[in-house]
Amino acid sequence: MSPDDPVRPVAAPAQLFDLTGRTALVTGASSGLGHRMALVLAHAGATVAVTARRTDRLEALASLHPAIHPFTADLSVAADRERLAADVEAALGTLDVLVNNAGLSHSSPIEAETLADFERMIDINLTSAWHLIKLFGVGMVAAGRGSIINIASILGIVGATPSKQTGYPAAKGGLINLTREMGLQWARRGVRVNAICPGWFATEMTDDLLSTEAGVGFVERNTPLQRAGLVHEIDGALLLLASDASSFMTGSVLTVDGGWTAR
């Protein structure tokens, strides 16, 4: 859209979120938020490639909707990322929507975190997103359209302690500023780049914390809305950023955190 385009009359606002005819890739779709987001994009009309290491989980997900297509990859391996980009583009063409969601956390104060732990956090949470933005974004820029959504974290905005983590908040903070920079680099090229920062959600990643009474108490006491998020509570932010409903948003960092970062 350009400033010269006429303002659209208000007709059917829900159509704003329609993704019919669009293609998408969701990384880390074998569980948690990624599994949910792949289904939401497919139900909104998109053809959706999904990736992760666990092929059985991806196939089970694909069996839930005919527009979902599995591609196994270990995103900590550069050659896998390159193969994934080639395979997905060969199957689906240039992407309209890339959701960089795959992630891994590691709780540790710095004294106990090894260099290998730190590098693992950076590799999967930041380097792999950078590489997929580069691999898929070039096609998007050539097509003059696209929406890239990076799933960062509240722990990329504020520190984690008292839940001590070191490499993870560093990587997510990097992902947030990579989002801003790419939003700027491609602002005149038709490709929008935004981030979603979830608060605490019950997924495999938070199993250790949220399966204990103390962990649930910690989240309830410290989240203004007094609970963890439910996976469906990511749907609205995802559909907003994936669709034309966010046509004037780029470089934005959207929190879905029950108020955690408002304190």
Q: Which is nearer to ligand NAP, 122 or 141 (CB)?
A: 122
Residue of 24, 38, 44, 205 that binds ligand NAP (CB under 6 A): 205
Q: Which is nearer to ligand NAP, 144 or 162 (CB)?
A: 162
Structure tokens at 256: 């879905």
**Amino acid in the structure at residue 51:** T
Distance CA 97, CA 40 (A): 13
Q: How far is the CB of 203 from ligand NAP (least distance, A)?
A: 3
Asked if 223 interacts with ligand NAP (CB under 6 A), we say no
Single out the catalytic residue among 17, 168, 186, 201: 168
Q: How far is the CB of 115 from ligand NAP (least distance, A)?
A: 18
Concerning whether 168 is annotated as a catalytic residue, the answer is yes
Q: How far is the CB of 76 from ligand NAP (least distance, A)?
A: 4
The helix (H) or strand (E) run that includes residue 85 is: helix 78-92
Confirm if 140 and 191 have CB atoms less than 8 A apart: yes
Q: Which of residues 106-125 bind ligand NAP (CB under 6 A)?
A: 124
Residue of 22, 23, 28, 253 that binds ligand NAP (CB under 6 A): 28
Query: In the stretch 54-93, what mask flags binding to ligand NAP with x, by CB under 6 A?
Result: x--x----------------xxx-----------------
Side-chain-side CA neighbours of residue 23 (13 Å): 15
Q: Which residues contact 49 (CB under 8 A, 6 or more apart)?
A: 23, 24, 25, 26, 69, 70, 71, 88, 91, 92, 95
28: region left, alpha or beta (phi > 0 left; psi from -120 to 50 alpha)? left
Q: Cα dihedral sign for 155, 72, 250, 256? A: negative
Asked if 34 interacts with ligand NAP (CB under 6 A), we say yes
By the criterion CB under 6 A, which residues form the site for ligand NAP? Answer: 28-34, 52-54, 57, 74-76, 101-105, 124, 151, 153, 198, 200-201, 203-206
Catalytic positions, written as ranges: 168
